[in-house]
């Protein structure tokens, strides 16, 4: 009889969800195995069936479990996935690759928004945006040129912050209380111009991975537009797609 902790103020469905997740990750529940029925789980945890269903529903959404109507709930076969569609800052990306992130600021200024930037950030053309351009390093080697645009009205004092000591624009934005939720990113191949080639230490016309991304807070407000040019020999890009 597993008792849920009554002391801490964590919802029961969250506690059950995390217990199930742990059992799956530790192979107590093996891939393909049938879970106890919802009624059995409800009895076991001393909660109602609806609470169990809620816990299970989360894990089904994540792809850890699947249901078969009339038959039962089962552990899915593979789980390497989840983290792949996680929205990461370039800082976090490099950390994940096991390298030491570094940064070199190229420029930092307030500018009127061009029409393209205004459109992405839902501003009027000419509204002030903070333009922050830097070279991202991994283990001391240049890997990406990044250029971010943030509406100035969202964080008027951003310039005064020490952007050099703060390793990630995301950290800064989140510390301002923006709950970054999702982003749309478009990736394609472009060829290095002279300046980019020099900064990234590649040949002119070498292929680069070009990505542009708009990041949205949870209320759908665009917070950030980033363009990035990255060395094609360093980056790969893994995502999870759903049909």
Partner DNA sequence: GACGCATACATGTATAGACATCTCTATTAT
Partner DNA sequence: ATAATAGAGATGTCTATACATGTATGCGTC
Segment interacting with DNA (CB under 7 A) among 39-47, 105-113, 116-124, 169-177: 39-47
Q: Contact between 47 and DNA (CB under 7 A)?
A: yes
Is residue 190 a contact partner of residue 202, using CB atoms and an 8 Å limit? no
Nearest CB to DNA, comparing residues 16 and 172? 16
Segment interacting with a second copy (CB under 8 A) among 36-44, 106-114, 195-203, 228-236: 228-236
Find tokens 């645009």 and name the residue: 149
Closest contact distance (angstroms) between CB of 27 and DNA is 20
Question: Taking CB under 8 A as the criterion, which residues in 95-154 touch a second copy?
Answer: 122
Question: Taking CB under 7 A as the criterion, which residues in 63-92 touch DNA?
Answer: 67-73
Question: Which among 177, 178, 202 has a CA at the least distance from the CA of 190?
Answer: 202
Segment interacting with DNA (CB under 7 A) among 32-40, 125-133, 156-164, 195-203: 32-40
Candidate residues 30, 69, 160, 243; the one interacting with a second copy per rule CB under 8 A: 243
Q: Contact between 13 and DNA (CB under 7 A)?
A: yes
Q: Contact between 240 and a second copy (CB under 8 A)?
A: yes
Question: Which among 180, 182, 208 has a CA at the least distance from the CA of 193?
Answer: 208
Q: Contact between 40 and DNA (CB under 7 A)?
A: yes
Q: What is the 8-class DSSP label of residue 79?
A: -
Q: Contact between 46 and DNA (CB under 7 A)?
A: yes
Q: What is the 8-class DSSP label of residue 96?
A: H
- What's the residue count for the chain? 243
Q: Contact between 39 and DNA (CB under 7 A)?
A: yes
Is residue 238 a contact partner of residue 185, using CB atoms and an 8 Å limit? no
Q: Contact between 180 and a second copy (CB under 8 A)?
A: yes
Is residue 149 a contact partner of residue 158, using CB atoms and an 8 Å limit? no
Segment interacting with DNA (CB under 7 A) among 42-50, 117-125, 153-161, 177-185: 42-50
Segment interacting with DNA (CB under 7 A) among 11-19, 90-98, 167-175, 225-233: 11-19
Residue 119 parent element (H or E) = helix 115-120
Candidate residues 9, 162, 188, 219; the one interacting with DNA per rule CB under 7 A: 9
- Which segments of 113-221 are extended strands (E)? 128-138, 141-151, 180-191, 207-217
Listed in sequence order, the residues at least 6 apart from 65 whose beta carbon sits closer than 8 Å to its beta carbon are 20, 24, 35, 56, 59, 73, 74, 75, 76
Give the 3-state secondary structure of residue 63.
coil
Nearest CB to DNA, comparing residues 68 and 242? 68
Is residue 131 a contact partner of residue 226, using CB atoms and an 8 Å limit? no
Q: Which residues bind a second copy (CB under 8 A)?
A: 31-32, 61, 63, 66, 74, 76-81, 84-88, 122, 180-189, 207, 209, 213, 216, 218-222, 232-233, 235-243
């Amino acid at each position: 009889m597993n008792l849920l902790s009554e002391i801490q103020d964590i919802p029961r469905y969250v506690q059950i969800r995390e217990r199930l997740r742990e059992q799956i990750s530790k192979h107590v529940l093996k891939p393909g195995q049938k879970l106890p029925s919802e009624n059995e789980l409800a009895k076991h945890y001393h909660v109602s069936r609806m609470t169990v269903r809620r816990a299970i529903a989360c894990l089904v959404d994540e792809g850890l479990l699947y249901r078969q109507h009339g038959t039962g709930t089962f552990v899915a076969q593979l789980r390497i996935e989840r983290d792949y569609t996680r929205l990461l800052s370039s800082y976090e990306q490099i950390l994940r690759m096991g390298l030491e992130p570094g940064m070199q600021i190229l420029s930092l200024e307030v500018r009127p928004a061009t029409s393209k930037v205004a459109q992405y950030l839902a501003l009027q053309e000419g509204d002030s945006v903070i333009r922050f351009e830097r070279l991202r390093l991994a283990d001391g080697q240049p890997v990406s040129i990044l250029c971010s645009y943030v509406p100035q009205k969202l964080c008027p004092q951003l310039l005064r912050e020490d952007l050099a000591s703060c390793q990630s624009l995301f950290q800064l934005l989140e510390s301002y209380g923006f709950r970054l939720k999702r982003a749309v990113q478009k990736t394609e191949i472009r060829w290095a111009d002279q300046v980019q080639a020099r900064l990234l230490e590649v040949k002119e016309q070498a292929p680069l991975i070009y990505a542009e991304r708009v990041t949205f807070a949870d209320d759908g407000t665009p917070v950030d537009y980033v363009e990035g040019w990255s060395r094609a020999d360093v980056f790969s890009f893994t995502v999870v797609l759903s049909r």
